[in-house]
Amino acid sequence: MKGLIFSVKRYSIHDGPGIRVTFFMKGCPLSCWWCHNPEGISQQPEQVKVAEKVGDEEFIKFRQAGEYYSVDDVLEILEKERPFMAESGGGVTFSGGEPMLQSEFLLEALKACKETGYHTAVDTSGYSLPTNYSAIIPYTDLFLFDIKHLDDDKHEKFTSVSNTLIINNFKMILDSGRDVMVRIPVIPGFNDDDHHLEKIKSFISENRADNLRKICLLPYHRIGSSKYKRMNIPDRMEGVEPPSAERMEELKVFFAGTGIKVKIGG
Ligand code: SF4
């Protein structure tokens, strides 16, 4: 069995504790307006245009987004980074796209990583069958779980899917006792109004548990916009500015009111 992966990031420090290797798995059932990895959404390998800088000049070239990896390929990559991961308390993270879309491969990879002694994390939108989560829970040390919006209509408008399944999966994973970090993308005009922020804070407070380790506030950024242009995809966030550093600090203090540790960034 092989998994389709569009990027492998070594020395990652934003996808869980310590120094990690992050595998970005291709395919996502959501279509978030602010997605900065549009090359991760299709479930097929594809050629995408990328910009490369040489001195002051920028060149556009094609790169293959999506290659098939076996579990042994994954272990081979990890083995090379083992000393850094061990020393820093890091491990391996499966992100995307949505890694749960390749749930069979993910399960096999997680099992093999655990057997080989790695700390494992799964970064998920929460949008997958509960049975898929139940299967991976025994082999996943940490879930990085996105909560984007608690109003279902708004969630559906801006991500193309309902949040009902996501919220139920969130509660189920928390109940399992596995470590969870909640990731909240801070998207101006989508989820950052006072009313919604109060709602999300109450939701987290109500679900507070010892294994809910951290709240990560992910400020919207414009990194994806140049990719959209190159891939000829309409940029639905045109003209939206990222939140300021002051605003993010304000939100950090606000969410600290839940009693849970808060971090800006992943
Ligand atoms: S869930 Fe993540 S990868 Fe999928 S569309 Fe949304 S931002 Fe992009």
- Atom number in ligand 1 closest to CA 146: 1
Task: Yes or no: say if 119 and 147 are a contact pair by the CB < 8 Å rule.
Answer: no
Where do the structural domains in the chain lie, given as residue ranges?
A: 2-264
Cβ of 17 less than 6 Å from ligand 1:
no
CA of 41 to the centre of ligand 1 (A): 7
Question: Which residues make Cβ contacts (< 8 Å) with residue 177, sequence separation at least 6?
Answer: 211
Q: What is the reported pLDDT for 59? A: 84
- Atom number in ligand 1 closest to CA 97: 3
CA of 28 to the centre of ligand 1 (A): 6
Q: Distance between CA 143 and CA 124 in Å, rounded? A: 7
Q: Distance between CA 56 and CA 131 in Å, rounded? A: 51
Q: What is the reported pLDDT for 49? A: 87
CA of 124 to the centre of ligand 1 (A): 9
Q: Estimate to the nearest angstrom the gap between the alpha carbon of 226 and the chain centroid.
A: 20
**Of 123, 135, 129, 137, which Cα lies nearest the Cα of 177?**
137
Question: Kind of pairing, strands 119-124 and 91-96?
Answer: parallel
What's the CATH number of domain 2-264, 3.20.20.370, 3.40.190.10, 3.20.20.70, 3.30.70.890?
3.20.20.70
Task: Yes or no: say if 182 and 216 are a contact pair by the CB < 8 Å rule.
Answer: yes
Cβ of 66 less than 6 Å from ligand 1:
no
DSSP class per residue in 120-181? EEEEE-S-S-HHHHHHHGGG-SEEEEE---SSHHHHHHHHSS-SHHHHHHHHHHHHHT-EEE
Q: What is the reported pLDDT for 224? A: 83
Q: What is the reported pLDDT for 134? A: 98
| pLDDT tens, the chain, 266 aa long | 999 999 999 999 999 999 999 999 999 999 999 999 999 999 999 999 888 888 888 888 899 999 999 999 999 999 999 999 999 999 999 999 999 999 999 999 999 999 999 999 999 999 999 999 999 999 999 999 999 999 999 999 999 999 999 999 999 999 999 999 999 999 999 999 999 999 999 999 999 999 999 999 999 998 888 889 888 899 999 999 999 999 999 999 999 999 999 999 98
- Atom number in ligand 1 closest to CA 31: 5
Q: What is the reported pLDDT for 57? A: 86
CA of 256 to the centre of ligand 1 (A): 26
How far CA 31 is from CA of 98, 118, 213, in Å, comes to 11, 31, 28
CA nearest ligand 1 atom 7, residue: 35
Q: Distance between CA 50 and CA 62 in Å, rounded? A: 6
Q: Distance between CA 192 and CA 243 in Å, rounded? A: 9
Q: Give the burial string for 3-32 (b: 16+ CB within 10 Å, else e).
A: bbbbbeeeebebbbbebbbbbbbbbbbbeb
Cβ of 147 less than 6 Å from ligand 1:
no
Cβ of 35 less than 6 Å from ligand 1:
yes
Measured over the CA atoms of residue 151, residue 155, residue 157 and residue 158, the dihedral's sign is: positive
**Of 109, 120, 23, which Cα lies nearest the Cα of 70?**
109
Peptide bond into 97 cis (omega under 30): yes
Alpha-carbon dihedral 97, 99, 105, 106, rounded to 10 degrees: 150
CA of 34 to the centre of ligand 1 (A): 8
